[in-house]
Amino acid sequence: MSDLRLVIFDVDGTLVDSQAEILAAMTHAFAAEGRAMPDRSDVLSIVGLSLDVAFARLCPDSDQAVQARLVEGYKDAFSTQRAQNADHGPLYPGARAVLDALAAQDNTLLAVATGKSRRGLDKLLERHALEGFFHSEQVADHHPSKPNPSMILTAMNELGVVQNRAVMVGDTTYDMDMARAAGVAKIGVGWGYHAADLLMPDILIHEFGALPGAVDELAGH
């Protein structure tokens, strides 16, 4: 049996603090449709879902055409913001050092599982000089929305890693439910967009420096 282990990261709210960008892009999208912006808490509650599912939850009274326009308006606004302001969406403190440390371990593979599009993830990875850093990159273009386990199962299959050697790291209940459905361990982070007491992870961490130890405990050395 392979001794490889796999650490799968959510992106927004876990690796990257994109809250300001998300809220600004949402404001633009709703304004373009002449609609009132939802409450901040409602917007943050859907972070992590694929955009079509997210807007369907935010606007259950709207038809699919309106929801589709909101999706495109959001994507355009988000891309424009990132092109204009290189300081938006910073990595959380300690993230880069921990990623580097995990990547330096011969038996540890890294992956992302995100509700972002392929285009959105590519731009983010380029911004933070993380191109080629992850061995598997699972995006919303090719999978059902979280918490469907498709992203995790595909990453494990691509890399030949078994369930008890894989762990999901995320900040939302969608990440935890996805991991549970895939049969892998769950590490919740306390700095993201869902309340920590809702996550029900195997281990909850409050700083990035605690991640390597949590991975060792859940996925072995």
- For position 96, which CATH number holds? 3.40.50.1000
* pLDDT less than 70: residues of the chain: 1-2, 85-88
- Give the per-residue pLDDT at 201: 98
- Give the per-residue pLDDT at 86: 56
- Catalytic-residue membership of 10: yes
Task: Give the number of domains in the chain.
Answer: 2
In this structure, the answer to whether residues 128 and 35 fall within a common structural domain is no
**pTM of the predicted model as reported, rounded to 2 decimal places:** 0.89
In this structure, the answer to whether residues 13 and 57 fall within a common structural domain is no
In this structure, the answer to whether residues 123 and 174 fall within a common structural domain is yes
In this structure, the answer to whether residues 13 and 59 fall within a common structural domain is no
- Locate tokens 């204009």: which residue? 84
Distance CA 7, CA 16 (A): 16
- Give the per-residue pLDDT at 1: 45
In this structure, the answer to whether residues 94 and 191 fall within a common structural domain is yes
Strands (E), the chain: 5-9, 108-113, 136-138, 166-170, 185-189, 203-205
In this structure, the answer to whether residues 131 and 213 fall within a common structural domain is yes
The two three-digit tokens of residue 126, written as one number: 């380029």
- Give the per-residue pLDDT at 28: 93
- Give the per-residue pLDDT at 85: 66
Angle 171-99-167 from CA coordinates, rounded to 5°: 50
> What are the b/e assignments for 118-140, b being 16+ CB within 10 Å?
eebbebbbebbebeeebbbbbbb
Q: Which domain holds residue 41?
A: 19-84
Helices (H) and strands (E) in the chain, counts: 9, 6
- Catalytic-residue membership of 39: no
In this structure, the answer to whether residues 136 and 200 fall within a common structural domain is yes
Query: Among 40, 63, 84, where does a domain finish?
Result: 84
In this structure, the answer to whether residues 53 and 125 fall within a common structural domain is no
In this structure, the answer to whether residues 24 and 123 fall within a common structural domain is no
In this structure, the answer to whether residues 128 and 208 fall within a common structural domain is yes
Query: Among 41, 60, 84, where does a domain finish?
Result: 84
Which among 3, 12, 42, 100 is annotated as catalytic? 12
In this structure, the answer to whether residues 12 and 120 fall within a common structural domain is yes
Query: Among 40, 68, 84, where does a domain finish?
Result: 84
Distance CA 7, CA 113 (A): 10
For strand 166-170 and strand 203-205, is the pairing parallel, antiparallel, or unpaired? unpaired
In this structure, the answer to whether residues 64 and 137 fall within a common structural domain is no
Which among 3, 10, 175, 177 is annotated as catalytic? 10
